[in-house]
Chain A
Amino acid sequence: MMSVETEIRFKLNGREVCLKVPATMKTLAMLRERLDLTGTKYACGEGECGACTIEVDGRTINSCLMYAIDCDGRELVTIEGLRTPQGLHPVQQAFVDHGAVQCGFCMPGMIVQARYLIENNPGLTREEAQRGLEGNLCRCTGYTKVLDAVQAVAGKAGCGGHG
């Protein structure tokens, strides 16, 4: 009773990818199970927690809600794509430096979202960061150090790095 598989091509973290996916498969499952990119996390599967946040064509989405076949022709960036040749992306480094990582399970989604917010609003305020991260749940940190990290990067000119 396996569903029909469809071939899709897309750009993932800067590289071309071609694979066959079932019509029912979600992008989150494709990343984790087909491409072994386990940085993107499952935590609710219904778009309520943000742990599976990735970037698609420059906008962040919950990858648990997006069908894998809809990735065809698009450009995806996951947490694994943020690292630069020099090392951690400035947002990742800021999260480390400011103690924003405890168990860390929600952090890949949180960091992808934080980077998106900063790139689209380099001088964002703490309140804007709070609003922008509202869809990313964290049970460990109380968000305070996450917001400290975002503000530290937002305060600097340009956040650099790819994605």
Chain B
Amino acid sequence: MQPKASDSPAVKTTLIGQRVKKPDAPDKATGKTRYINDMVLPQMLIGKVLFAGRPHARIVRIDTTAAARLPGVHAVLTGADAAGLKFGFVRDNVALKDKVRCEHDEVAAVAAETEEIAGRALALIEVEYEDLPGVFTPEAGARNDAPQIHDSFPGNKSLHFEFRHGDLAAAEAASDLIVDNVFRPHHVTHCCMGTSCAIADFDHNGKLTIWTQTQYPYNYKMDLAPALGIGPGDIRVIQPPVGGAFGSKLDVYPYEPIAALLAKRTGRPVKVLYTREEEFRAAPTRQAAIIHMRTGCTRDGVLTFRSADVLLDNGAYTSWGPTIPVIMMRTTSGHYRVPVVDFQAQAIYTNNPYAGSFRGYGNVQTTWATAQQMDMLAEQVDMDPLEFHLKNAQVSGETTPQKSFLRECALVECLQTAADASDYSRKRREYAALRAAPGRYKKGIGLASSIHNAGGAKIHKSDGIGTILKVDDYARVTVITGASEIGQGIDAVITLIVAEELGVPVEHVTIVNNDSDIAPWDVGVHASRTTFIAGNGTRRAACKAKAQILAGAEKLLGEPAAGLALRGGAVVREHDGTEIIKLDRLLRQMHFQAEPELVMVTDYYEPRSEPEGARHVSDHSAAYSHAVHVAEITVDTLTGEIKVDKVTVAQDVGRVINRLGLEGQVEGGLAIGLGYALSEDMRLERGRLKNACFRDYKLITAPEMPPIDMHFIESRCAEGPYGAKGISELPTIVIAPAVANALHNATGVRIFDPPMSPEKVARAIHDQRQQAGAAAPAAQREGATA
């Protein structure tokens, strides 16, 4: 049974903070749900893409004659068919290429009656390439004599960002201690269990219907249109259930316009579905970067400045990856009082795969650096890191140099809660003291923290949402909302909020949110925004419906609306719960009276946040939130393997809405962060991916998942729905540096380039011992030969 807002009309209980099940879970658990990957349309053709398989080349000749002649082939397209149809953040991409700039560049595409025929057709396409010298690191791409990747971007220079606040030279001079490191966050990829898929179909009025996994359906139209040479208004976006997204579907990627171009050419629906290997090669990555960070403090542990000089590996094209400095520049100093900040970032085109957005967007990379430097400085001033964090932590009412206003800031509570629950300070001292003791296995504990936007992020002119809500004659509620469901559980949150406000069971709420011709505008699932934004939109719409219903009761029954409430499927007197009338009966009376009315309301919610502007400095989110993770680990100093024994999480969630979904988001986000920290790594050699399979690209599996001790701090955000804040990215952001700090606590070594793989950890420990110049204790030598 699902929890109810109230079992009997007399008792006012609340659903807020309870455990509400996802409405789509039964169909997913029984295999009934038809994902986009499972869809078949009448007359549908299968589209397949020919990838270049080389990182940088001129296409000398392409001959599709044999492929086009193969029986069952309906269309073969090449770069000539997409010429001039540029799309992307800086219009540097096309669906089908006339020059190869990365391994997975799409050079041709086929639509055929079966996947097998499409595959055979691809093999018949003859392409003659002239390979060009490549650029595989941003440093190499920035050199004066580097090969040019795009004619229109001289010097391989893509986006540039900077933010300066205060007098850096003076702050450096005033610092007693400065840590100075280069961090190299690496390429990882989303690994959605459902591989990338799009189905496109044109009607004879020239309107495109695209079934897609997109997580931002409205701006998606605007981004897809130029890749096809049609108007955004001529695109209908349908979002069937998807097998994960995590940020990977926050942009248009070439397979989508390819499906549409094939559909246009053939006049039939065309489906493009990646194999897992194609997914590894062609799906976006997390942005790789080289972060040169310096942080200073005084002898008594007061932060003085932080500077970050960031070089981003843009890859071949510009999607959401190279725009991460928008968030990096904020989170570089966002949650500790850093009076002077100096940030700059330059993205350099390379012949590597290119990055999109990925849960934790930019802040995973930043926090990897900042949280380790906090730990280093604490050690250098000989303070317990907890004390060091507390000394510099921001509190409610402060504004960061980047103009983020911290209305309700619970960082101090998060720090104290996580440290107390894990017994952090005692364990840290004990483990550090045992570092040099004999023994192969070492225990360590590490603390890390971060800040993230938790009330949307006004990166567009609007961060709003439209909601339409209707209540029918049987008191069944339909919510038509722009909010997309990609597995994260906004469906449960919406049903919970409607049930809370209208006193109906959650099972009586239906959500329509997968068709851009029906549902109104929303920015999309990103920036930890959906519970905050769609939650507010739903609540406002439900309250409007409630007001209409109670006014109807007053008119028909003579009871003043001000004294009425909706509980247990009935209209009741607010003060004692006396039932006045069943809700469905009232709704029918309202409908079938002399002056008939239906309960159907609309709402447009725009959060009180400021657009970012050209410099990206503004109070861009309606809320900010913090999280602290404490990781406890065991390190095998012989093999370098790290086992995470336990993670303690303290996160400011504003207020718990659906506890079941919240826990699931923290656990799942943390698993992605652990994979980033420990095992996930795209092995790129001169632009070619060497591990395009789950055998060689290691996700966290069930036995590796540690127990999590979760603590939710409820700071009650004034702008959030019922006080809630957005929550889903921080769990991915904070865990990796917590493990890194634990590794240091256990062994004394630091890894700056994730993942902290056994090879790297073992080598670092080995190097440290070599440098120490001391022979390893006999017990460890025995362990090494055992």
Q: Which residue of A lies closest to B487 (CB)?
A: A103
A51 interface hit (Cβ, 8 Å) = yes
A80 interface hit (Cβ, 8 Å) = yes
* Interface bits A1-44 vs B (CB < 8 Å: 1, else 0): 10000000000000000000000000000001000011111111
Q: Given A49-B193, A97-B21, is A88 in contact with B670 using a C-beta cutoff of 8 Å?
A: no
A145 near B667 with CB under 8 A, answer yes
* Interface bits B682-707 vs A (CB < 8 Å: 1, else 0): 00000000000111000111110100
* Interface bits B23-43 vs A (CB < 8 Å: 1, else 0): 011101111111101100000
* Complex alpha-carbon distance, A50 and B242, angstroms: 18
Collect the chain B residues with CB atoms within 8 Å of residue A133's CB.
701-702
Chain A to chain B contacts (Cβ below 8 Å), 28 pairs: A37-B31, A38-B34, A39-B31, A41-B193, A43-B193, A43-B195, A46-B694, A49-B193, A79-B31, A80-B30, A92-B29, A92-B30, A95-B29, A96-B26, A99-B21, A99-B660, A99-B661, A101-B24, A101-B25, A103-B242, A104-B241, A129-B702, A134-B701, A139-B244, A141-B667, A142-B671, A143-B671, A145-B667
A143 near B705 with CB under 8 A, answer yes
A159 interface hit (Cβ, 8 Å) = no
A38 near B31 with CB under 8 A, answer yes
Q: Which residue of B lies closest to A131 (CB)?
A: B703
B369 to chain A, nearest CB (A): 24
* Interface bits A96-135 vs B (CB < 8 Å: 1, else 0): 1111011111111001000000000000000101110111
* Interface bits A136-154 vs B (CB < 8 Å: 1, else 0): 1111111111110000000
A interface residues, Cβ below 8 angstroms from B: 1, 32, 37-46, 48-49, 51, 78-80, 82-83, 88, 92-93, 95-99, 101-108, 111, 127, 129-131, 133-147
Q: Which of A103, A134, A142 contacts B670 (CB 8 A)?
A: A142
Q: Given A99-B21, A139-B192, is A108 in contact with B693 using a C-beta cutoff of 8 Å?
A: no
* Complex alpha-carbon distance, A18 and B751, angstroms: 58
* Complex alpha-carbon distance, A22 and B694, angstroms: 28
B191 interface hit (Cβ, 8 Å) = yes
* Complex alpha-carbon distance, A135 and B289, angstroms: 32
Classify the interface of chain B: helix, strand, loop or mixed: loop
Collect the chain A residues with CB atoms within 8 Å of residue B667's CB.
141-145
* Complex alpha-carbon distance, A105 and B197, angstroms: 14
Q: Given A43-B243, A95-B25, A104-B241, is A139 in contact with B664 using a C-beta cutoff of 8 Å?
A: no
A92 near B26 with CB under 8 A, answer yes
B668 interface hit (Cβ, 8 Å) = yes
Q: Which residue of B lies closest to A133 (CB)?
A: B702
B193 near A137 with CB under 8 A, answer yes
B143 to chain A, nearest CB (A): 38
A99 near B670 with CB under 8 A, answer no
B31 near A78 with CB under 8 A, answer yes
* Complex alpha-carbon distance, A79 and B28, angstroms: 10
B600 interface hit (Cβ, 8 Å) = no
Given A131-B702, A145-B667, output 20 extra A-B contacts at Cβ < 8 Å.
A1-B120, A32-B38, A38-B38, A43-B243, A43-B276, A49-B694, A79-B31, A92-B26, A92-B29, A96-B22, A102-B668, A104-B33, A106-B243, A134-B703, A135-B701, A139-B244, A139-B668, A141-B668, A144-B667, A144-B705
Among A44, A45, A83, A88, the most chain B Cβ lie within 10 Å of the Cβ of A44
* Complex alpha-carbon distance, A99 and B486, angstroms: 15
Q: Which residue of A lies closest to B492 (CB)?
A: A99
Q: Which of A39, A97, A136, A138 contacts B30 (CB 8 A)?
A: A39
Taking CB atoms and an 8 Å cut-off, the chain B residues in 483-500 that contact chain A are 486-489
A60 to chain B, nearest CB (A): 15
Collect the chain B residues with CB atoms within 8 Å of residue A135's CB.
701
Collect the chain A residues with CB atoms within 8 Å of residue B28's CB.
101, 104, 107
B665 to chain A, nearest CB (A): 8
* Complex alpha-carbon distance, A43 and B38, angstroms: 12
A138 near B193 with CB under 8 A, answer yes
* Complex alpha-carbon distance, A137 and B193, angstroms: 8
B21 near A96 with CB under 8 A, answer yes
B336 interface hit (Cβ, 8 Å) = no
B701 near A141 with CB under 8 A, answer no
B298 interface hit (Cβ, 8 Å) = no
A143 near B34 with CB under 8 A, answer no
B290 interface hit (Cβ, 8 Å) = no
Going nearest first, the 7 A-B pairs with the smallest beta carbon separation are A39-B31, A103-B487, A104-B28, A105-B243, A142-B671, A142-B667, A79-B31
Q: Given A82-B30, A104-B25, is A137 in contact with B699 using a C-beta cutoff of 8 Å?
A: yes
Among B660, B663, B668, the most chain A Cβ lie within 10 Å of the Cβ of B668
B657 to chain A, nearest CB (A): 14
Q: Which of A32, A137, A146 contacts B694 (CB 8 A)?
A: A137
A48 near B702 with CB under 8 A, answer no
Q: Which residue of B lies closest to A138 (CB)?
A: B193
A46 near B693 with CB under 8 A, answer yes
B583 to chain A, nearest CB (A): 27
* Complex alpha-carbon distance, A14 and B770, angstroms: 65
Q: Which of B29, B190, B191 contacts A96 (CB 8 A)?
A: B29
* Complex alpha-carbon distance, A135 and B31, angstroms: 19
* Complex alpha-carbon distance, A144 and B701, angstroms: 11
Q: Which of A80, A107, A140 contacts B668 (CB 8 A)?
A: A140
A36 to chain B, nearest CB (A): 9
Q: Which residue of A lies closest to B696 (CB)?
A: A48
* Complex alpha-carbon distance, A147 and B707, angstroms: 11
Collect the chain A residues with CB atoms within 8 Å of residue B37's CB.
41-42, 105
Q: Which residue of A lies closest to B695 (CB)?
A: A48
B466 interface hit (Cβ, 8 Å) = no
B292 interface hit (Cβ, 8 Å) = no
Q: Which of B31, B693, B705 contacts A142 (CB 8 A)?
A: B705
Collect the chain A residues with CB atoms within 8 Å of residue B29's CB.
88, 92-93, 95-96, 101, 104, 107-108, 111
A130 near B702 with CB under 8 A, answer yes
B276 near A139 with CB under 8 A, answer no
Taking CB atoms and an 8 Å cut-off, the chain B residues in 163-215 that contact chain A are 190-195
Q: Given A96-B25, A103-B244, is A139 in contact with B672 using a C-beta cutoff of 8 Å?
A: yes
A131 to chain B, nearest CB (A): 6
B305 to chain A, nearest CB (A): 37
A104 to chain B, nearest CB (A): 3
* Complex alpha-carbon distance, A106 and B242, angstroms: 11
Q: Which of A79, A80, A97, A105 contacts B194 (CB 8 A)?
A: A105
Collect the chain B residues with CB atoms within 8 Å of residue A42's CB.
37, 195
B160 interface hit (Cβ, 8 Å) = no
* Complex alpha-carbon distance, A138 and B486, angstroms: 14
Collect the chain A residues with CB atoms within 8 Å of residue B660's CB.
98-99
Q: Which residue of B lies closest to A144 (CB)?
A: B667
Collect the chain A residues with CB atoms within 8 Å of residue B275's CB.
45
* Complex alpha-carbon distance, A28 and B447, angstroms: 45
A103 near B194 with CB under 8 A, answer yes
Among A82, A95, A104, the most chain B Cβ lie within 10 Å of the Cβ of A104
Collect the chain B residues with CB atoms within 8 Å of residue A46's CB.
276, 693-695
Q: Which residue of A lies closest to B488 (CB)?
A: A102
B190 near A45 with CB under 8 A, answer no
Q: Which residue of B lies closest to A99 (CB)?
A: B660
* Complex alpha-carbon distance, A151 and B488, angstroms: 23
B19 interface hit (Cβ, 8 Å) = yes
Q: Which of A40, A98, A136, A138 contacts B31 (CB 8 A)?
A: A40
* Interface bits B131-169 vs A (CB < 8 Å: 1, else 0): 000000000000000000000000000000000000000
Among A1, A92, A134, A140, the most chain B Cβ lie within 10 Å of the Cβ of A140
Q: Which residue of A lies closest to B245 (CB)?
A: A103
* Complex alpha-carbon distance, A14 and B192, angstroms: 33
A147 near B38 with CB under 8 A, answer no
Q: Which of B31, B195, B701 contacts A108 (CB 8 A)?
A: B31
Collect the chain B residues with CB atoms within 8 Å of residue A130's CB.
702-703, 705
B246 interface hit (Cβ, 8 Å) = yes
B551 interface hit (Cβ, 8 Å) = no
Q: Given A42-B37, A51-B193, is A139 in contact with B30 using a C-beta cutoff of 8 Å?
A: no
A38 to chain B, nearest CB (A): 4
* Complex alpha-carbon distance, A111 and B28, angstroms: 11
Collect the chain B residues with CB atoms within 8 Å of residue A93's CB.
29
